[in-house]
Copies of this chain bind each other. A is one copy, B any other.
Amino acid sequence: MTLQARPSETAPSALIAAMDTLATTRLFGRDEEVYAQGAPVEHLYRLVRGVVRTTRLTADGRRQVGDFYYAGDLLGLEVGPDHQFSAEALTDCEVQVVRRGAVRAFAGDAAMDRAILEGIRRELERAQAHVMLLGRRSAREKVAAFLKSMAEGCAGARGGPQPVEMPMGRQDMADYLGLTIETVSRMLTQLQDEAVVEFPAVRRFQVKKWDRLEALAA
């Protein structure tokens, strides 16, 4: 019953070593902000414990969730001089924080570049998968794909009877998938009625028919 969604995506070891030495560990409570949208990009963050979401607010108040981050993930790897997204703790979090310049001086420019490259690479993978998810899928498929990725991330949930924990609420799911909470809720009950998944609690589920789920998530 771990909250680790992607099993063992460890950052490059040189960077980890540098961060373990240089970084200060900070704790964030639920819904606390790790960094703000629009703030200058100065630090590098590594999530040690807990779950973080990145969100972006448009001028007219609509919210888009960028992604969810789990223990081991690197945060704050954005491209421009300012953060395009803000990062907020979904659960209580433990985060290593370090100035970019510090780790650069410690680990060397080349190692730093390689580490950043690796991190950005993963960001790109996420973003591209997100585009595919948002582009041409029905609400049903979006929700199914979301559940599938949650279940895949949870180590050993594939065949085992252990349930998958969802750290995020319905609103976060909706804002990630580009849907309303009502639609998300309807699709979840629909999938449950068809016995594809089962929810013993609001934020805990178990995949019952993996093949059906995969077919839906396409």
- A66 lies within 8 A of chain B by Cβ: yes
B residues within 8 A CB of A124?
79, 120, 123-124, 127
Q: How far is the CA of A204 from the CA of B111 in the complex (A)?
A: 47
Complex: A114 Cα to B109 Cα, angstroms: 10
CB <8 Å contact, B114 and A58: no
CB distance from A182 to the nearest CB of B (A): 15
A56 to B121, CA, bound (A): 18
Indicate if A116 sits at the interface (CB-CB under 8 A).
yes
| Residue contact B132 to A64, C-beta cutoff 8 Å | yes
Report the copy number of this chain in the oligomer.
Answer: 2
Q: Does A99 contact B (CB under 8 A)?
A: no
- Best-surrounded residue of A120, A121, A124 (most CB of chain B within 10 A): A124
Verify if A211 is at the interface (C-beta below 8 Å from B).
Answer: no
With a cutoff of 8 Å between Cβ atoms, the chain B residues found around residue A127 in the complex are 124, 127-128, 130-131
Interface check A193, CB cutoff 8 A = no
Task: Verify A134–B178 contact, CB threshold 8 A.
Answer: yes
Contact of A82 with B by CB under 8 A: no
Please name all residues of chain B whose beta carbon is closer than 8 Å to the beta carbon of A168 when the two chains form the complex. none
